[in-house]
Amino acid sequence: MRRALLLSLALLSLPAAAFELQPFTASYTADWKQLPISGSAERNLKALDNGRWELEFEASMLVAGLTEVSVFTLEKGTFLPLSYHFGRSGIGKSKEINLDFDWQQKQVMGTHRDESVHLPLNRGLLDKSTYQLALQQDVADGMTSMTYQVVDGDEVETYDFRVLGEERVRTKAGLIDAIKVERVRDPTKSSRKTILWLAKDWNFLLVRLHQVEKDGKEYQIMLKQGEVAGREVQGKAE
């Protein structure tokens, strides 16, 4: 009886398979295939007051840097962005985006490259950071084809994704079982490629991202270490 109870408690303490919005911190190595240098990246989700959450991403490599911050709420399973900031420096032209999502006025207002942005706001519209959490949620729910309406700069773009299958990813935290997801683009309009790996046993945390740009340059981030709801991410031993 005691042994069965201990086993039940152990099973309850295992990482959940379904997605639930939980605070996390994750650090990554960042590499450009064409450059003999490495950078670093950090991705963090934390709870704020009044049911708000903040998702932050930072990446740096030598003099180049990128920052992305979203504040949002979650209402009946739907992500509602409140504000979005993007800043990039040292990589080509500097770029800055600041957006506010006014749900009472149903408008997105802000600036993109110092130009004013005014867009209609409807439920389901996401920013370029929050849609990643929606993707994690949908993959956890078993969806294999996903479409999102995303504010991209000064316009609304359609982002399509499809699940490619399961794959074990080798990280510095160990071997992690992941769902492999691809951004679907029209090859006649864009040669860019984006593939993400989401950890099945760790609330579908991003563990790897591989990006191929229009000019053929390849970029990758790989999980170095992380925590989900205060628990250290630990993969399987090789």
Q: What is the pLDDT of residues 31-51, one digit of tens each?
A: 877 666 678 999 999 999 999
pLDDT tens-digit map of 177-209: 999 999 999 888 888 999 999 999 999 999 999
pLDDT tens-digit map of 78-88: 999 999 999 98
Which residue, chain included where needed, has tokens 């998702």? Answer: 55
CATH second-level architecture of 26-32+40-229?
A: Clam (2.50)
Per-residue confidence (pLDDT) for residue 16, from 0 to 100: 41
The mean pLDDT of 4-24, rounded to a whole number, is 53
Extract the runs of DSSP E, i.e. beta strands, from the chain: 24-32, 38-47, 52-61, 64-75, 78-89, 95-102, 107-112, 115-120, 125-126, 145-152, 155-171, 174-184, 193-199, 206-212, 218-228, 231-232
Which one has a higher pLDDT value, 29 or 7?
Answer: 29
Q: How confident is the model at residue 25 (pLDDT cuts 50, 70, 90)?
A: very high
Share above pLDDT 90 across residues of the chain, in percent, rounded to a whole number: 71
Q: What's the CA gap between 47 and 38, in Å, rounded?
A: 31
User: Could you tell me the residue ranges of all domains in the chain?
Assistant: 26-32+40-229
Per-residue confidence (pLDDT) for residue 38, from 0 to 100: 78
Per-residue confidence (pLDDT) for residue 34, from 0 to 100: 63
Share above pLDDT 70 across residues of the chain, in percent, rounded to a whole number: 89
Q: What's the CA gap between 238 and 236, in Å, rounded?
A: 6
pTM attached to this predicted model: 0.87
Per-residue confidence (pLDDT) for residue 216, from 0 to 100: 81
pLDDT tens-digit map of 95-138: 899 999 999 999 999 999 889 999 999 999 999 999 999 999 99
Q: What's the CA gap between 236 and 204, in Å, rounded?
A: 16
On average, the pLDDT of the chain sits at 89
The mean pLDDT of 167-174, rounded to a whole number, is 95
Q: How many CB atoms lie within 10 A of CB 154?
A: 17
Per-residue confidence (pLDDT) for residue 4, from 0 to 100: 38
